[in-house]
Structure 1
Amino acid sequence: MYQHELYRTMTFNAVPYMEPSQDFIKEGSTEIWEYINPNHDAHPMHVHLVNFQVLNRQPIDTAAYQKDYDKWIYGGRKPKDHPVLANYFTGPPIPPNPDETLSYKDTVKAPAQMVTRIIIQEFIPPKRDIASIPNSGAELPATYIHHCHLLEHEDDGLMRPWTIVGRDGDHHDSGHRGGGHGH
C-alpha cells in the first residue's frame, strides 16, 4: 500500500486503479502475496474470486522503507533500485491469529507497519456458466480486483486489477464471449 503524503490518495505500488493490470498470474499456480502496510491504520484487504490462507505477519521499519520506496518511484522504478523488503524487517514473522489458522479467507486484516503474507492456491476462474446464466463463465485472460474493504479507501483508489492468464502465460484474449473479464 502506498501513500506519498498523509491524507492523500492511497494506491497499490503507487499505481492508480484505472491503469491496466500489471499482475499476471498463471492459471492453476500458487502464489504468496505480501501486503506491506506502512500506514498507521489497519486495512481489511479483500481479494475477489479466490480464497486464501494467512501465512504470517512481520514488523518492518516503515519510515525507512517508505523513504527508499519513494526514491525508487521518483527515480524511474529501475528494477535494480527496488528496495529489498528483507532489509527492513524489525522482528521475526508472527503466526496467524487463532481464527485464521488453517482456515480460508477472502479478506485479511493488514495491520499498520507490518507485512501481511497470504497464500493463494490454484488460481482457477469459473469457466462454466454460473447459476445457469448463459455465457457467464470466464475466459482467459480473466481480470479481477483486490482492494481495501474500507469504503473510503476503496473509493479513493486503494484497489487494483490482477489477471489470470493461460498456463503458457498468454496475456491475449481468445476473442470469445465479452473479452474474458471476470469482475
Structure 2
Amino acid sequence: MYEYTSDIDEPTHLYINGKAYEEPVTETPKEGTTEAWNVINLTEDNHPLHIHLGLFVVMDQTELINIDEFKACMSKLNDAIKCQMTNPGYVYHCHILDHEDNVMMRPLKIIR
C-alpha cells in the first residue's frame, strides 16, 4: 500500500502493489486453496483491508526494519519478494471510505 502525494504533501493516488485499479489482475488465487499474503503498508495511515466474497485471517503483524531501504527497492522493482519480503472478478481494497473512493483497491481473479 502506497500513497503518492502532491507538492504540499496531500495524497493524490492511493495504490496497492503500486498499481491502479484499472491495470490487469495480478492476484489469482485458486478456488478452495489457502494463500498467505504479505500486506506491506508504506504509508503513515492504517488501511483496514477488505476482500469481497473471501475469508481472511490476520496471522501476524510485524513492523518493517530498514523501511527506507525497502521503500527504495519497491520504488525501483515493485516486487516485495525481490526486495527481501518473503515472510476474487473480485476486489480487495482499503475499507476507509476516502481511500476506497480514491481507488485504493485492486482486482482479484479466482482460478477454478
TM-score (norm 2): 0.82
**What is the CA–CA distance in structure 2 between the aligned matches of 1:45 and 1:13, rounded to whole Å?**
13
Whose radius of gyration is greater, 1 or 2?
Answer: 1
Name the Cα RMSD after superposition: 2.3
**What is the CA–CA distance in structure 1 between the aligned matches of 2:84 and 2:109, rounded to whole Å?**
25
Deviations 1:71-93 (A, max 9, x none): 224xxx7x9x931125xxxxxxx
**What is the CA–CA distance in structure 1 between the aligned matches of 2:110 and 2:59, rounded to whole Å?**
22
Which residue of 26, 31, 35 maps to 1:27?
A: 31
**What is the CA–CA distance in structure 2 between the aligned matches of 1:3 and 1:71, rounded to whole Å?**
16
Letter in 2 for 1:44: P
Which residue of 24, 28, 49 maps to 1:45?
A: 49
**What is the CA–CA distance in structure 2 between the aligned matches of 1:26 and 1:51, rounded to whole Å?**
13
User: 4+ runs of 1 displaced by more than 3 Å?
Assistant: none
Q: Name the residue aligned to 1:66.
A: 71
**What is the CA–CA distance in structure 1 between the aligned matches of 2:2 and 2:71, rounded to whole Å?**
8
Counterpart secondary structure, 2:100: helix
- The share of aligned pairs that are identical, in percent, is 33
- Is the 1:43–1:148 contact (alpha carbons within 8 Å) kept by the matching residues of 2? yes
Letter in 2 for 1:70: S
**What is the CA–CA distance in structure 2 between the aligned matches of 1:71 and 1:153, rounded to whole Å?**
24
Equivalent runs, 1:90-105 vs 2, <5 Å: none
CA deviation after TM superposition for structure 1 residue 28, in Å: 1.1
Q: Name the residue aligned to 2:108.
A: 162
Q: Which runs of 5+ in 1 are unaligned?
A: 87-116, 118-141, 167-183
**What is the CA–CA distance in structure 2 between the aligned matches of 1:21 and 1:44, rounded to whole Å?**
21
Which residue of 82, 90, 97 maps to 1:144?
A: 90
**What is the CA–CA distance in structure 1 between the aligned matches of 2:76 and 2:55, rounded to whole Å?**
34
Decide which structure has greater strand share: 1
Q: Name the residue aligned to 1:2.
A: 2
**What is the CA–CA distance in structure 2 between the aligned matches of 1:70 and 1:29, rounded to whole Å?**
31
Q: Name the residue aligned to 1:83.
A: 83
Letter in 2 for 1:67: A
**What is the CA–CA distance in structure 2 between the aligned matches of 1:21 and 1:71, rounded to whole Å?**
20
